[in-house]
Chains A and B, each alone.
Chain A
Amino acid sequence: MSVKAATPARSGAKSKQPLREWKRFRFPQSLYRWGGVLLGLVFLSYSVVYLNIPLERFFNMFGRVGTLVTERYYPPEIDYITEPDYLASVVDTIQMSYLGALFGMIMAVPLGWFGAYNMSPSKRFVYPLARFVAMSARSVHETIWAILFVTILGFGMMAGVLALTMFCVGFAGKLFAEEIEAIEMGPVEAIRATGANEFMVMVYGVFPQVRVAFTGIGIYTWDVAFRAATVVGFFGAGGMGWYLKRNILQIETYRVSAILVSIVVLVLIAEGVSAWARARVAKAK
């Protein structure tokens, strides 16, 4: 027993012997496992204390949320969201979302190329740089991009479009790079062997292989960008978000809930359109 316990790593090889004693986890895995769990629990309870989370408020929150919704947010003022001003902002939001997705993807294609290990022009410099750019663009939240662009360029939809562009660059750039890394290298080599330059190798050897996937990713990117577009206006970057902010500040709760309803409906429609389009594209393969 003691020998076995001391060499748990080889227990797989010895498992043919009948075990005299069976335990789910043996030392020292058991120690790591329970230690990890314990550490996690300590971190969690410490977090609750550290963040000053009022547990009693958490537990009677459900009732409060219930009354809040039924008394203050219901019924939504549907008339408000059918006003032409608001509908115009919906159109703005849609425009912002596809412009952001489009510009983002135009930039994401070279970024995906440079950030794909197999095709990158330089594995030492360009590859890590492209990966870093994509990661940074993605890591910074779209609302932060929106605030930055509003600060620099002033209020308006340009800031929103640019914020969504940055977000989409990172989002699509990473997915594009992964897609390029998964291609077959045979055709790439064949095109290279004809004496084509690297750009032509991309166009003829790589692009036909990833075209369908890129289209799907593009549609998905737009879908995600649309969700983000509904709120960038909250920080002054145009679209429906601005109406949301104004009504929250004026405590027009029925209008707020109407706007939320409109957001949910629009996102659902966008999701439906995106799923349908992606299915179409996948079939056209």
Chain B
Amino acid sequence: MASAQATAEQVERIIAARSKAKLVRSLIYAVVLLLVAWSVNTTIIEDTDWARMGSVANVLESVAEFIGIDWGLFPHLLEPALETIMVATLGTLLGVVLCVPAIWFGALNITPFMPITYPFARLMMTLSRSIHEIVWALFFVAAVGLGALAGVLAIAVRSIGFIAKMTAEAIEDLDPKPVEAIRAVGGSEFQVFVYAILPQVLPVMVGVIIFEWEINIRRSSVLGLVGAGGLGLVFFRQLNTFNHPGVTTVIIAILILILFGELVSYFVRKAVI
């Protein structure tokens, strides 16, 4: 039968095509696997002090040391927790203030002098985002000394990039009609900004700020590691005194704090937007 013949051929062709696709895919997988194996070898197998680590039982023993909660520590965590929240909040707000020029210069449709101001804003955003908060904190500790101020500054500077980027994008996408309307009634550039641009951009900006604030709680919880106050400092102290259940306790406190942050941001979001 002719059609059966054709079908048999077709089956062969399809099976061949499928196994060829599979071969190509397996080759890619093999290359990736080799790369991973090489990296595992250099980063894990060769770079680990296996003797110090000891047997699996030793490792489990050290993990077991962390199990448990140091209830006595909780009262001493309230102040650092409050500090952490405060640093995150002040840092976020300062970040918003510092953002303004980056937003103004960084939105293509309102940047005052494109060849200079635009790249400048992009540079600000990039620097802010690409340097880790720990590094920023180290820098500000060097500049203003140990303490919460360094933390606030680090958080602020680290926040600029994201807030400015999202807001600038919102400005680039905004509806031009209200702008024309305000211009048409004779509004000044400033009035255009306040009455036509701000109302459109504010909801986006508020959302972004709340989002960033949540992240900043997580960040400010560790800045104490480099001397900028908050829960990180307590964490460090527990670790250095080998109070391992205390370490766990601090981590739980951080979790609670972040959960609290998520709750607050949920309600603020609902109230504002």
- Write the residues of chain A forming the contact surface with B, with a CB cutoff of 8 angstroms: 36, 43-44, 47-48, 50-54, 57-58, 61, 64-65, 68, 92, 95-96, 98-99, 102, 135-136, 139-141, 143-144, 147-148, 151-158, 160-161, 227-228, 230-231, 234-235, 238, 244, 248, 260, 263-264, 267-268, 271
Contact = CB atoms under 8 A, between A and B. Distances in A.
A68 B48 contact: no
B121 interface: no
Interface of B: 36, 39-40, 42-44, 47-49, 52-53, 59, 62-63, 66, 82-83, 86-87, 89-90, 93, 126-127, 129-132, 134-135, 138, 142-145, 147-149, 152-153, 218-219, 221-222, 225, 229, 235, 239, 247, 251, 254-255, 258-259, 271
Given A98-B39, A248-B138, A154 B131 contact: no
SS class of chain B's interface: helix, strand, loop or mixed?
Answer: helix
A67 to B, nearest CB: 10
Contacts, number: 143
A264 B40 contact: no
A264 B255 contact: no
A44 B130 contact: no
Most chain B CB within a 10 A radius of its CB, from A136, A143, A234, A238: A143
Contact of B142 (A44, A68, A234): A68
A144 B255 CA distance: 12
Contacts of A234: 134
Contacts of B59: 152-153
A52 B148 contact: yes
Contact of A154 (B48, B225, B251): B48
A50 B47 contact: no
A167 B42 CA distance: 21
Contact of A157 (B44, B131, B144): B44
A235 B66 CA distance: 19
Contact of A102 (B36, B93, B126, B153): B36
Nearest to B93: A44
A95 B39 contact: yes
Nearest to A245: B138
A158 B135 contact: no
Dominant secondary structure of chain A at its interface with chain B: helix
B232 to A, nearest CB: 8
A48 B130 contact: no
A244 B135 contact: yes
Contacts of B47: 92, 156-158, 238
A141 B148 contact: no
Given A139-B254, A144-B222, A238-B47, A50 B138 contact: no
A186 B49 CA distance: 52
Nearest to B35: A98
A98 B87 CA distance: 32
Contacts of A68: 142-143
Contacts of B145: 57
A216 B82 CA distance: 37
A260 B131 contact: yes
Given A52-B147, A64-B143, A161-B44, A264 B86 contact: no
A154 B126 contact: no
Contacts of B129: 267
A264 B130 contact: yes
Nearest to B220: A141
Contact of B131 (A48, A158, A264): A264
Given A227-B130, A264-B127, A139 B43 contact: no
Nearest to A62: B143
Contacts of A147: 225, 235, 239
Contacts of A52: 147-148
A140 B134 contact: no
B96 to A, nearest CB: 12
A139 B218 contact: yes
Contacts of B235: 144, 147
A144 B93 CA distance: 25
Nearest to B219: A141
Nearest to A32: B271
B241 to A, nearest CB: 13
A42 to B, nearest CB: 12
B151 to A, nearest CB: 9
17 contacts: A50-B82, A51-B149, A51-B152, A51-B229, A54-B149, A98-B39, A99-B39, A139-B218, A139-B258, A141-B219, A147-B235, A156-B47, A238-B47, A263-B132, A264-B130, A267-B129, A268-B130
A92 B43 contact: yes
Given A65-B143, A140-B251, A267 B43 contact: no
Contact of B152 (A53, A136, A153, A260): A53
A238 B43 contact: yes
A248 B83 CA distance: 26
